[in-house]
Amino acid sequence: MLGTIVNTGTILVGSIAGSIIKKGIRDEYKDALFNAMGLAAAGLGINAVVQNMSKSSYPVLFIVALALGSLIGTVLNIDGRFQKLTERFSGKGRLGEGLSTGILLFCIGTLSILGPINSALNGDNTYLYTNATLDLVTSCVLASAYGIGIAICAGVLFLWQGSIYLLACLLGDFMGADMMTEISIVGGFLIASSGISILKIKEIKTLNMLPCLLVPVLFFIFKGFF
């Protein structure tokens, strides 16, 4: 869990630093930061898809995952509930957008998923330390655009990586490379969709797509019985 603790701490530090910088940034500079974050999210998402697509043994699974998961998330109205929750604490600002983007960037990346698994199974925190360095910069930029509320992502990341760590300890080899590949492909699409929304190319309620990540897991659980 040391790697996860370090990763959580870097997001807190970056959020504090970014919120301090925010006070001296003019509106046109904030717009530039929004554009930069949108491009970065889109690029990271596309990169994750391209890197993992060729490794997939189930090339149709991500399509089913995106369709089924998006439908479930829309029925549950995850995005709407999340926006109402953030408005309760921050008014009608853009914190909800920042948090949804931050959660996706911090939690759904390949390093953030594979890191806790590698730590649990092999005692190696290299992925998590690398991820922590990236998240330090990302949280600073996000907080400079959206404010100190981005620090909430640190708690979400801790719970996310901590849950993966505990599951890896319990399930061991079941969480193999094939499952991680499929999750990384779907996660890449989610991150890219967040970038598209920030750039205002098309409004996509990415949080409604979070159940997509469960579809590959359920597929492999089902597959394990046969």
**Residue 219: its pLDDT value, please?**
92
Q: At what angle do helices 177-198 and 214-224 cross, to 10 degrees?
A: 160
Q: Which helix (H) or strand (E) holds 225?
A: none
- The pTM assigned to this predicted structure is 0.73
Burial of 64 (0-12, 13-18, 19+ CB in 10 A): middle
From residue 223, alpha-carbon distances to 168, 179, 219 in Å are 18, 11, 6
Q: Which of 45, 76, 102 is nearest to 208 (CA)?
A: 76
* AA letter at 170: L
**Residue 41: its pLDDT value, please?**
77
| Euclidean distance between CA atoms 51 and 157, whole angstroms | 23
Range of the domain at 110: 2-224
**Residue 88: its pLDDT value, please?**
67
Under-70 pLDDT residues of the chain:
23-25, 86-93, 109-110, 172-175
Number of structural domains the chain divides into: 1
pLDDT digits (tens, 9 = 90+) for 82-100: 777 766 655 555 777 788 7
| Euclidean distance between CA atoms 22 and 186, whole angstroms | 33
**Residue 176: its pLDDT value, please?**
73
Q: Find the DSSP H helices in 108-176.
A: 110-122, 126-146, 152-171
pLDDT digits (tens, 9 = 90+) for 177-192: 788 888 888 888 988 8
**Residue 175: its pLDDT value, please?**
67
**Residue 124: its pLDDT value, please?**
81
Q: Which of 166, 131, 160, 123 is nearest to 11 (CA)?
A: 131
**Residue 75: its pLDDT value, please?**
95
**Residue 66: its pLDDT value, please?**
96
**Residue 11: its pLDDT value, please?**
93
